[in-house]
Each structure stands twice: as structure tokens, then as C-alpha cells.
Amino acid sequence: MDAKKLREAKKKIGNTFELTVLLQKRCQELVRGAPKLVQADAKSPIDVALEEILEGKIWLGERVTPLPPPPAEPAPAPAGGKVA
């Protein structure tokens, strides 16, 4: 792991604690088989997660990995049988 990249990631995330939490959560996802979000030669999950942070692919929030938007639900039919 590169110390310079760690400093850059800390600046991007805000503080050491949040960076540590984000790295830990993303490493768990990668170990469980989540696809890499960057083209990295790194073999270590932590190096991959660090690259993903630096490229803005992941962030700390409800989920580490962004989800696709949910499908739109159709509007319900009006009551009373009349369509305006």
C-alpha cells in the first residue's frame, strides 16, 4: 500500500476513521466476490478499494457500492372508472 495514495484518500474522504471504515467495508465486499470498479493490477483487496476511492467510484454512505436506481412504478388507475 502506498502512503501517498493513503494521504490522498484521507483528504478525499475527510478523516482517518471514515477512510478506515470505508476500506474495511469495501474489502469485505471484494473478498465475498464483488466485482472491481476500477482497472487495477493490484491483487490485494485493500489496494483495489484504495484505487476505487481515489477514482471516486465508492464513498461512505448507506452502501459502499452504488446501486442502480429502482425501476419506476406505474401510476395507479383513477378510482370511479372515469379517465380524464
Residue among 8, 2, 9, 10 at smallest CA distance from 42: 2
For 41-63, write each residue's pLDDT tens digit: 878 999 999 999 999 999 887 55
pLDDT tier for residue 38 given thresholds of 50, 70 and 90: very high
Cα separation, 5 vs 16, in Å, equals: 13
pTM over 0.85: no
Specify the pLDDT at position 4. 94
| Helix, strand, coil percentages in the chain from 3-state DSSP, rounded to 5 | 45, 0, 55
DSSP code at position 74: P
Specify the pLDDT at position 62. 57
